Amino acid sequence: MNASVEVPDTSPDLAIQLYQRGRISRIWARLGPYSLTLGIAIALAAAWEIASGRIISEVFVSKPSAIWASFLVLTETGKFSYHLPITIQEAAFGFVIGTAGGVLLGLMTGRVEFLAKAITPFVIGFYTMPKLALAPLFIIWFGIAAEMKIALTSTVVFFPVYMVTFAGMREVSQELLGITQVMGASRFYAFSRVILPSTLVWLFVGLKQSVPYALLGAVVGELIASNRGMGFLMRQATGSFDTATLFAALFVLVAIGYGSYEFLRFLEGRLLWWKKSGDGTPGTM
């Protein structure tokens, strides 16, 4: 009895087909989520366009075509080019000042237990206070100039950065620190090779969370008291029930915030190249 043996196909055509299938799978794995995101955005915009004026009054929600037209008008008239850099500058200065203060105090209290016990009650007390409620007080102190928005923004940013820096310092592996001490490493070596890398993981979480707070502080400050900036532009649009301009300004701020968030993710990936995470949390590399 003759048994037939099936010989696997090893022809060049099959190898090419398998390569092409693998390449398509890799491309889809990389671009598939973005395609889905774009599809959802288009579907939502189409539903919004259809519902506006038919189901919901256009006065309240406007519609994508009107928002796009308003965006073009604001761009061509130079209003965006005038107001947007002011808001970005206020948010950026406030972000830097708040981050620097939060990181410095977080590093100090995270390493010195006595200092942490002495300062923590004050930090918690101020943290529970509605930060935006300080805006009227800042107006008295700084007036309605950019200094008021920067002070408000830095106050809003300070607390999340401080909290994650403090937590990161407390989560530093004491075992690794003990090993460096046994090996006779200097304090600077222990800080730069053990403490700082461990804290940076937490710090970037706080920085990415603080980006929207920075924009929030600047825009709210402009909404309350200002004669320029995106908040001022939105306040003008509110007074005239111009929802198209309101949404156009909001979407521009969303784009700025998202771009800043992605930049921090890029910076995180370059500085924390050794960090691997499979938990799927936003911003992890």
Residue pair 194/177 in contact (Cβ under 8 Å)? The answer is yes
> 39 and 100 in one domain?
no
> 45 and 162 in one domain?
no
> 97 and 174 in one domain?
yes
Q: Which of 51, 75, 96 is the last residue of a domain?
A: 51
pLDDT, tens only, 25-84: 666 667 667 778 888 889 998 998 898 888 888 888 889 999 999 999 999 999 999 999
pLDDT, tens only, 103-142: 999 888 887 888 888 888 888 888 888 877 888 888 888 8
Residue pair 160/209 in contact (Cβ under 8 Å)? The answer is yes
Supply 154's token pair. Answer: 């830095």
Average model confidence (pLDDT) for the chain? Answer: 81
Flag whether 238 is in a domain. yes
> 249 and 161 in one domain?
yes
Flag whether 8 is in a domain. no
Flag whether 6 is in a domain. no
Flag whether 281 is in a domain. no
* CA 170 – CA 176 distance, rounded (Å): 13
Flag whether 71 is in a domain. yes
Q: Is 52 helix (H, G, I), strand (E, B) or coil?
A: strand
| Domain count along the chain | 2
> 188 and 68 in one domain?
yes
* CA 88 – CA 256 distance, rounded (Å): 8
* CA 235 – CA 227 distance, rounded (Å): 10
Residue pair 230/219 in contact (Cβ under 8 Å)? The answer is yes
pLDDT for residue 100 is more than 90? yes
> 258 and 193 in one domain?
yes
For the ranges 14-28, 57-71, 224-238, the lowest mean pLDDT is seen at 14-28
> 239 and 266 in one domain?
yes
pLDDT attached to residue 230: 94
Residue 218: closest CA among 260, 246, 252, 253 = 253
> 19 and 69 in one domain?
no
> 161 and 31 in one domain?
no
> 258 and 131 in one domain?
yes
Confidence of residue 279 (pLDDT cuts 50, 70, 90): very low
> 232 and 122 in one domain?
yes
Average pLDDT of the segment spanning 168-196: 70
More confident residue, 171 or 102: 102
* CA 207 – CA 239 distance, rounded (Å): 34
Q: Which of 51, 73, 97 is the last residue of a domain?
A: 51
* Domain span at 28: 15-51
**Cross-strand bridge partners of residue 52:** 56
More confident residue, 142 or 172: 142
Q: Which of 51, 70, 95 is the last residue of a domain?
A: 51
> 28 and 116 in one domain?
no
Query: Count of CB atoms within 10 A of residue 273's CB?
Result: 9
pLDDT attached to residue 283: 41
Q: Which residues contact 98 (CB under 8 A, 6 or more apart)?
A: 153, 154, 155, 156, 157, 158, 161, 210, 214
The pTM score is: 0.78
* CA 91 – CA 102 distance, rounded (Å): 16
